Amino acid sequence: MAFGTMGEVSRTSNDTLYKIKRSIASHSKRDKLSRRVLRSMPPVRMALGSVSYFDELFAASNIDFVIRQTSLKFIAIGLVALVAIHVTESKSVFHTEQNQCTTEQYRLRYHFSPAEHWINDPNGMVYYDGVYHLFFQYHPYSTVWGPMHWGHAISRDLATWEELPVALAPDEIGDIFSGSSVVDFTNSSGFQTSPDIAPIVAIYTSAGGAGQRQSIAYSNDKATTFTKFEGNPVLSDANSPDFRDPKVRKLSNGKWAMALAVRNKIEFYGSDDLKSWNKLSEFGADPEQGSHGGVWECPDLFPLNVTQVDGTTLEMWVLIVSINPGGPNRGSAAHYFVGTFDGTFTALPWQNTQWLDWGPDNYAAVTFSNEPQDRFIAMGWMNNWMYANNLPTAAWRGQMTIPRTLGLRDLNKSENRYRLTSVPTAELEALRNPQEYVGNNAEFMVPPQTVIQLTEQATFKNPAMELEITLEISQQPRFSLCAHNSGGEEICFGLNETRWYQDRSKTGNTGFNGEYAATLYASAPREIDDQEMKIRIFLDVSSFEVFADDGLTSMTSLFYTNEPLDMFYVNHWSDTGSSATVKVKNFKVWGLVCWFQERAQKLKLS
């Protein structure tokens, strides 16, 4: 069969191609040619005029795979199947005019989202040999949750992402639920086949008729392909129906530690070789430990250094646990604990139930392993289980947050002393379009009951922007920073005396789901009372991510307007005559580039 341009490929044709890929996969163990063909097959694109360019790992395959700037032909021979795809050239849009970024309604421009179909939790995030690997829960045949696979995307800069073929598919043990990946530099697993390439080992939950069990798969070609361990599953518990989402890291003593979600608690396991595991301890069964409004899921465990107020540095351990439902503003969310870990996690006695993100749309956030700068960089599923299956997007459902660098701050309080901070990774500055900028370093006051446009002098209109603003306040004012359009639609973040808030009630399409309509307003306590505050807002076509007080508070929301939001204003809405003050010390607004369609990786065509 022959297809036209990718923009003309129908859903039926996409499903047909996926079925052919699965057929080739089923014979790949016996047929080396089929295996190479499978690795080289591109993910199907529904976006008009777009094509995913392949990582060098795939282009290095020995099969006859020719990429031209004017056309692409792919011939796959397996199970007597012949597919020819012709793709017309698309122009790069990186740092060019925004009207060249023609995407579907609500399609995010600089966040990762799949070309089509359903995604949820980020999985197996790992860095190796210059590449960040983002795996994720993926249903390649539908836009609603179903049999889970591990999808796969890569980045070399944490700012732009390239979607690749499915990494792990269901098998006779079960579907492929969430998990993690590690680089086994010492070959403790015995999986290594090349002295120059360390194996990457994926640890995931197999969910089938026998329940939820932990399995592993390994790659000796830098995560191009994975081989499932013949001894799977490696960890089982017939008494626990919720027994999933292993997060593994290597400890300083050379042993592996696993954090595993088991209903309403986290169990910890240890291993020397990633194959045999023994239980070490558990945390959370006590109802006083954390929030228990729902099932615990997707844990992460890692150490962070904190500089204390006396100048000394202390290593603490952070345990992140997602919960569904039970979030601070309804639905799914993630909370965290600070403490110590030596095989047993001990939360500080006055450090309990803090929220990673106070908005409604950041769930299952976990960090990359083997990060080259020893940073802990998290990404989350930007969605909420209350309405995830009903988002008003067409070709796809689900997207990831921007990557965020985590830190730990000492607030010098007698209770709840340490706070996890979350700030956009520095690499995201590369998204700023130098041709789309407006700012002001001159201070100005915003009197009560006054609205001041921040982008009035801008010569660009862009639904993807970053706002960085420094304010000085007094007397607990009420103010908001709003992204808006000329039709009166807007989404706002601000301070209502002592509490931060986020309001998406005026974003147009708010009635597509009753639970979504019930989560239009979210709030969070302000952790400090400093008069000066710095706020960063990342706006995309249908997402709004806010970072306040150097990351002490973050709030993430999806929204669905009828027309793009492409302007910012500040509104001081304290009562007339109020003594409260709001001063803008400086602000900067950048238009952010659109990479979704072309990925801005021209080297792949050279």
What would the pLDDT profile of 469-521 be if each residue is shown by its tens digit?
Answer: 999 999 999 999 999 999 999 999 999 999 999 999 999 999 999 999 999 99
Average pLDDT of every residue of the chain: 85
Whether residue 431 sits in one domain with residue 397: no
- pLDDT of 582 strictly over 90: yes
| Helical axes 11-27 vs 32-40, angle rounded to 10° | 150
Amino acid 83: pLDDT? 30
- pLDDT of 593 strictly over 70: yes
Whether residue 431 sits in one domain with residue 344: no
Whether residue 47 sits in one domain with residue 190: no
In this structure, are residues 208 and 185 in contact, taking their beta carbons and an 8 Å threshold? no
- pLDDT of 248 strictly over 80: yes
Q: What is the mean pLDDT of residues 519-530?
A: 96
Digit-coded pLDDT (tens) for 205-235: 999 999 999 999 999 999 999 999 999 999 9
Helix and strand counts by DSSP (H, E) for the chain: 4, 39
In this structure, are residues 158 and 185 in contact, taking their beta carbons and an 8 Å threshold? no
Percentage, residues of the chain above pLDDT 90: 76
Boundary-marking domain end, from 340, 368, 401: 401
Whether residue 434 sits in one domain with residue 352: no
Give the separation between CA 216 and CA 207, rounded to whole angstroms: 13
Give yes or no: 31 in active site.
no
* Secondary structure E strands in 209-243: 211-219, 227-228
Give the separation between CA 155 and CA 368, rounded to whole angstroms: 12
Q: Could you count the other beta carbons within 10 Å of the beta carbon of residue 412?
A: 10
Residue with more model confidence, 122 or 31? 122
Give the separation between CA 478 and CA 469, rounded to whole angstroms: 16
Boundary-marking domain end, from 360, 385, 401: 401
Amino acid 353: pLDDT? 74
Whether residue 177 sits in one domain with residue 60: no
Amino acid 35: pLDDT? 39
Closest CA to 18 of 204, 162, 169: 169
Domain carrying residue 59: 2-90
**Which region holds residue 280: left if phi is over 0, alpha if psi is between -120 and 50, else beta?**
alpha
- Report in angstroms the alpha-carbon separations of 503 from 454, 470, 490, 506: 19, 21, 9, 8
**Which of the residues 31, 55, 64, 121 is marked catalytic?**
121
Residue 262 lies in a domain: yes
Whether residue 154 sits in one domain with residue 74: no
Residue 101 lies in a domain: no
Global pTM value? 0.84
Q: Tell me, what DSSP letter sits at residue 337?
A: E
Q: What is the mean pLDDT of residues 88-93?
A: 28
Q: How confident is the model at residue 44 (pLDDT cuts 50, 70, 90)?
A: very low
Q: How confident is the model at residue 351 (pLDDT cuts 50, 70, 90)?
A: low
Q: What is the mean pLDDT of residues 104-126?
A: 96
Residue 8 lies in a domain: yes
Boundary-marking domain end, from 28, 55, 90: 90
Output the domain CATH number for residue 174: 2.115.10.20
- pLDDT of 600 strictly over 60: no
Output the domain CATH number for residue 563: 2.60.120.560
Q: Tell me, what DSSP letter sits at residue 327?
A: -
Give the separation between CA 148 and CA 141, rounded to whole angstroms: 10
Digit-coded pLDDT (tens) for 276-329: 999 999 999 998 899 999 999 999 999 999 998 888 999 999 999 999 999 999
Whether residue 286 sits in one domain with residue 179: yes
Sheet of 244-250, strands arranged across: 244-250, 256-262, 265-271, 278-283
- pLDDT of 575 strictly over 70: yes
Give the separation between CA 589 and CA 568, rounded to whole angstroms: 9
Whether residue 437 sits in one domain with residue 397: no
Residue 416 lies in a domain: no
Give the number of C-alpha atoms closer than 13 A to the C-alpha of residue 430, restricted to the C-beta side. 14
Amino acid 63: pLDDT? 30
Whether residue 457 sits in one domain with residue 388: no
Whether residue 378 sits in one domain with residue 256: yes
**Which region holds residue 254: left if phi is over 0, alpha if psi is between -120 and 50, else beta?**
left
**Phi, psi for 168 (deg, rounded to 5):** -135, 130
Dig out the tokens for 399 from the structure: 């997207």
The domain total for the chain is 3
**Which region holds residue 330: left if phi is over 0, alpha if psi is between -120 and 50, else beta?**
left
Amino acid 311: pLDDT? 87
Digit-coded pLDDT (tens) for 55-87: 333 333 333 222 223 233 333 333 323 233 222
Residue 99 lies in a domain: no
- pLDDT of 2 strictly over 70: no
Digit-coded pLDDT (tens) for 150-194: 999 999 999 999 999 999 999 999 999 999 999 999 999 999 999
Amino acid 416: pLDDT? 63
Q: How confident is the model at residue 597 (pLDDT cuts 50, 70, 90)?
A: low
Q: How confident is the model at residue 201 (pLDDT cuts 50, 70, 90)?
A: very high
Residue 435 lies in a domain: yes
Whether residue 134 sits in one domain with residue 82: no
Amino acid 78: pLDDT? 34
Residue 271 lies in a domain: yes
Whether residue 160 sits in one domain with residue 72: no
Question: What does the CA dihedral 355, 357, 359, 363 come to, rounded to 10 degrees?
Answer: -100
Residue 35 lies in a domain: yes
- pLDDT of 11 strictly over 50: no
Closest CA to 581 of 481, 446, 453, 482: 446
Closest CA to 67 of 82, 56, 53: 53
